Homo-oligomer: A and B are copies of this chain.
Amino acid sequence: MRVYLAGPDVFLPAPHERGAALQRLCAAHGLEGVFPLDPLRGGDWPAWDGLPEAFRIARRNEAHITSCDALIANLTPFRGPSADVGTVFELGFMRALGRPVFGWSNNAIPFAERTRSFIGGTVDADGLAVEDFGLADNLMIEGGIHGSGGSFFAATVPADAVWRDLTAFERCLAAAARLMR
């Protein structure tokens, strides 16, 4: 079973080592982890020749996702109250394919509370309301995970372990392995 590993982990200082670490944990759960930086099976499509590098990467990630049976997303808040938007695009993409999506976060503070801290109040300067359903992030995220049959796990970790701790990730792997057995 192939599992796409979505997340801002590609922006870490040693992204290939991070990918390898995630993939070792996948293998320990009987899953094949596909990291965004992996080459595409069969190589890039000839139709992408001439595309700017950024668009080739986007096409490759979409093809990786399409080739997988499930997706696990690192939804740890990234530069603001919400998850990385590239990761969330990929989560929505896989959700539309009808396959199971899982999410994990190393921040267990509810979304509404994180957002109010960020904007310094209950409504922001432009009058936009704060979504408050007691969820971990925007409702499309946990709603999509729930609808797909997947699960979401949050952990509370020390500040210096936010981009290292893999406890919540491993809970996703265990849930994915159970669901896809």
Give residues in A with beta carbon < 8 Å to B: 8, 11-13, 52-55, 57-59, 61-62, 65, 78-86, 88-97, 115, 118-119, 124, 126-131, 133, 135, 137-144, 146-147, 162-163
Contacts and interface: CB of A to CB of B under 8 A. Distances in A.
Given A92-B91, A146-B55, A83 B81 contact: no
Contacts of A147: 55, 58-59, 62
Candidate in A13, A84, A95, A143 with the most chain B CB atoms within 10 angstroms: A143
Nearest to A139: B54
Contacts of A55: 139, 142-143, 146-147
A108 B135 CA distance: 31
Candidate in A131, A137, A162 with the most chain B CB atoms within 10 angstroms: A131
Nearest to A58: B143
A144 B79 contact: no
B80 A79 contact: yes
A13 to B, nearest CB: 4
Given A55-B146, A133-B53, A138 B84 contact: yes
5 contacts: A11-B130, A11-B131, A12-B127, A55-B139, A86-B139
A147 B58 CA distance: 9
Contacts of A93: 92-93, 95-96, 144
Contacts of A57: 139, 143
